[in-house]
Structure 1
Amino acid sequence: MKNVMASGWHTYIGSSPGMYGISLRKETYSHGLIEKSGGFGVQFLPAHRSELIQAVGTFSGRDIDKFQHFEIAYEDGVTVDVPILLEAYLAYECKVVDIHTCGDHDWIVGEIKQAYRDDELFLDEDTPEFSKLHIPLYVGRSTYLVADNTLQKKVHPFYLDK
């Protein structure tokens, strides 16, 4: 069974090997699918798709086929049985390596087995080209800010006097 969901708490947590963590409540449909399959996908969609991000985080896959209902195009992952959204500018296929309970959520850690990236939207390996890529930033209560080329850059080097 395939599903898509939104996670308000997630992060890249290691690079040798690449690891990614997501936070989910145990009772969610997605949590059960991840436990059963041993894998999950991480998808990053551009800001103009924030309404879709909110929708897939609002409705449960127990009740509707979100891929059909929201007309989400995807391809199957190549190393982990997860859908890879065609609109994602960055995506990871992850194999679960640890699940740790933290309060009312589980912290699910996966090793990144495959990565996808639209190189035309990045200046180098890590820096988005904000004149081309607008990134949604979830701030709670169905609200998103947009990171784009209007962002201010602040550099704060600190040096210790010897």
Structure 2
Amino acid sequence: MRAPVDEPIWYAYPGMVAVVTAQYEGEKNAMASGWHTYIGSSPGMYGISVNKETYTYKMIEKSGVFGVNFLPGRCSELIQALGTHSGRDINKFEEFNIQSEEGLKAEIPILNDAYFAYECKVHSMSTLGDQEWIVGEVLQRYRDKELFLRNGMPNLEKLDIPLHIGKSSYRILNSKAEERQHAFDSKAD
């Protein structure tokens, strides 16, 4: 039975973890972020939550740009490693053999393994609790069209999506997961 809880615990799992990339003065970094979302479409905006003390935050603050990369299920161990090691201590691109290409519109790495990615220019940064909410205007999108259906949905026959269920555990969403179709009413408020 559900009951009130007084402890400061959080629940938002399972969820997709994005890999946020940054670059400044030739140095690159990548970190896992479970707190992120698209915000608007005209213009396209994407938001990420980053602790102000992180190496990634400092690079984004100085460069004014960041990348958001979505990696397939086979990369869940890399995603976890990127979320548990600091770029201050190691070069994650060398240590984890991360392959990337330079963004088309911003000086940020776009990960070769990403099936979808954004290049973003910082629009605003706000302190919310112990996190910085960074909103970026989407400058460029990348998509592996072979992994998506014509309707824009992921093709789970070809793509496994890692879902973080908490701590260092992941479940893989693929075609074996049950699908339920529901009527869509575009007039709903």
Q: Does TM, scored on the shorter chain, surpass 0.5?
A: yes
Indicate the residue corresponding to 1:84 in structure 2: 110
Q: How does 1:135-150 map to 2 (within 5 A)?
A: 135-150=161-176
How far the C-alpha of 1:150 sits from its partner, in A, is: 1.6
Q: Structure 1 127/81 Cα, relative in aligned 2: closer, same or farther at 3 Å?
A: same
- Residue 73 in structure 1 maps to residue 89 in structure 2: no
Residue in structure 1 matched with residue 34 of structure 2 by the alignment: 8
- What is the match of residue 73 of structure 2? 47
TM-score, normalised via structure 1 length: 0.94
> Which deviates further from its counterpart, 146-155 or 91-100?
146-155
Match of 1:123 among 126, 149, 158: 149
Structure 2 residue 50 is the aligned partner of structure 1 residue 24: yes
CA RMSD of aligned residues (A): 1.5
Report deviation, 1:125. Answer: 5.1
- The size of the alignment, in residue pairs, is 160
Deviation at 1:34?
0.5
Query: By how many angstroms is 1:158 displaced?
Result: 7.7
Distance in structure 1 (CA, Å) of the matches to 2:85 and 2:96? 11
Q: Percent identity?
A: 58
5+ residue gaps, structure 1: none
> 1:155, 1:125 → 2: CA distance?
14
